[in-house]
Amino acid sequence: MAVPEKAVWKLSPHTEAKHAMLRSYLETWLAKLAGTRGIPPLTYAEGFAGPGVYEGEKPGSPVIALDVFLKQAHRLRRDQHLNVLLIEEDARRVEELRRQVAAKLAPHGGSHPKLNVTIQHADASALLSDLTEESRRDEPFFAFLDGWGGPDHIPFETARHVAQRRGGEVLVTFEASHLWRFVDDEERAEVGDRCFGSQEWRDVKNQPSNKKQKFLIDAYQKSLKRAGFEYVTSFEMILPKKSRLHLVFGTKHIEGLRVMKKAMWKVDPHQGGVFHDPRFPGQLSLDLEAQADLSHLRKVILDKLEEGPISIDSLREFALHETVYREKHAREVAQKLLREKLITSTGGANMGSGSILEMRSDDPASSAGPQQEALF
């Protein structure tokens, strides 16, 4: 990805998509954590905050986060507060960020009693000093690590320390091609080792070119799991000239995964996991994107049912953990298969928890009712 030289640069469509996901996630994140008894101060941190604004006065991620927090600060309990930690290494951008944050807080008299905003002119690794404070282990910590595609500036140690926090979560911008280009340069490769926490990723050089991308994303997801995030998922952004960025998310809570998947499907209602830059030829039309494409899920669910009966709960869990889809998509597919008389359900069409689904042993073609409908 080309790195802008100017302190403030033009907002690209993929960044807008990234912001939409972040906003959607943070709205639910704060709503869920705020007001819950026993939840100590929360921290939202950015290691690569940027100037807080794009050309044309469009907000950057720190300002978007502040907008969500200011709108929802009333939800925080009387004894609860939210720390916002913004780190940026470029002095010009820090200066602009300070202006943007001050402008956002101005209508509240320059500060908000529930928010502690700290801006640091430093390298993203400064996050570690906040994270290693033993006394704060219990505090939920969301880290947005949005470098220029890194993740070579995001050492495994940072991810590991976030994972040690009670509600630790990371959202990392990841550009895979950035890494495989440098795997043969020992000095750069060592930076990669520090990011993955092992050398396994170096095997990318033995992968065929069409598998390198997926290999590295999988390797990074595995390394986040090793760091302590039980659930991981990623979102792909296809940019002009076919370059690709991924947002990789790690959380210790199943609910975090649910909320992030919901945010991803909001941005990509068609496939759930990919954003196509509209300037990239061959993009999906907007009409198509409006409807979820469940054809792949249908195929994998049919494969699972071929192996034997399975509960709706297992199918929902499978969709959430192993695919880009959400739990509700698994139910939608199963209900459609039932309507098509391809399967039976002990819980009828409702498919309540505990319903067991099974392939029909009789020939669906001979039964009355609608024949197989068109694919999703």
Residues at the contact surface with ligand SAM, assessed by CB under 6 A: 15, 47-50, 60-61, 87-90, 93, 123-124, 146-148, 153
Tokens of 150: 């890194």
Whole-number minimum distance, CB 175 to ligand SAM, in Å?
Answer: 11
Whole-number minimum distance, CB 24 to ligand SAM, in Å?
Answer: 15
Nearer to ligand SAM, 11 or 356 (CB): 11
Q: Which residue is nearest to ligand SAM (CB)?
A: 60
Scanning 34-142, the segments in alpha helix (DSSP H) are 61-72, 91-105, 127-131
Residues 6+ apart with CB under 8 A from 87: 45, 46, 47, 48, 49, 119, 120, 122, 123, 124, 126, 127
Whole-number minimum distance, CB 143 to ligand SAM, in Å?
Answer: 12
Nearer to ligand SAM, 6 or 181 (CB): 6
Nearer to ligand SAM, 61 or 80 (CB): 61
Distance CA 151, CA 1 (A): 13
Kindly write down the DSSP assignment for every residue of 166-203, as one continuous string: TT-EEEEEE-HHHHHTTTTSHHHHHHHHHHHTSSGGGG
Nearer to ligand SAM, 49 or 334 (CB): 49
Whole-number minimum distance, CB 309 to ligand SAM, in Å?
Answer: 47
Nearer to ligand SAM, 147 or 272 (CB): 147
Quote the radius of gyration of the chain (alpha carbons, Å): 23
Nearer to ligand SAM, 196 or 325 (CB): 196
Distance CA 149, CA 177 (A): 9
Instruction: Name the helix (H) or strand (E) containing 344.
Output: strand 343-345
Look at residues 259, 160, 262, 274 and name the one whose alpha carbon lies nearest to residue 217.
274
Sheet containing 310-311: which strands, arranged edge to edge?
A: 310-311, 356-359, 343-345
Sheet containing 141-145: which strands, arranged edge to edge?
A: 115-121, 82-88, 42-46, 141-145, 169-174, 244-251, 231-238, 274-276
Nearer to ligand SAM, 245 or 343 (CB): 245
Whole-number minimum distance, CB 315 to ligand SAM, in Å?
Answer: 36
Whole-number minimum distance, CB 53 to ligand SAM, in Å?
Answer: 8
Whole-number minimum distance, CB 292 to ligand SAM, in Å?
Answer: 27
Asked if residues 96 and 59 have their Cβ atoms less than 8 Å apart, the reply is no
Whole-number minimum distance, CB 14 to ligand SAM, in Å?
Answer: 10
Nearer to ligand SAM, 88 or 293 (CB): 88
Asked if residues 79 and 34 have their Cβ atoms less than 8 Å apart, the reply is no
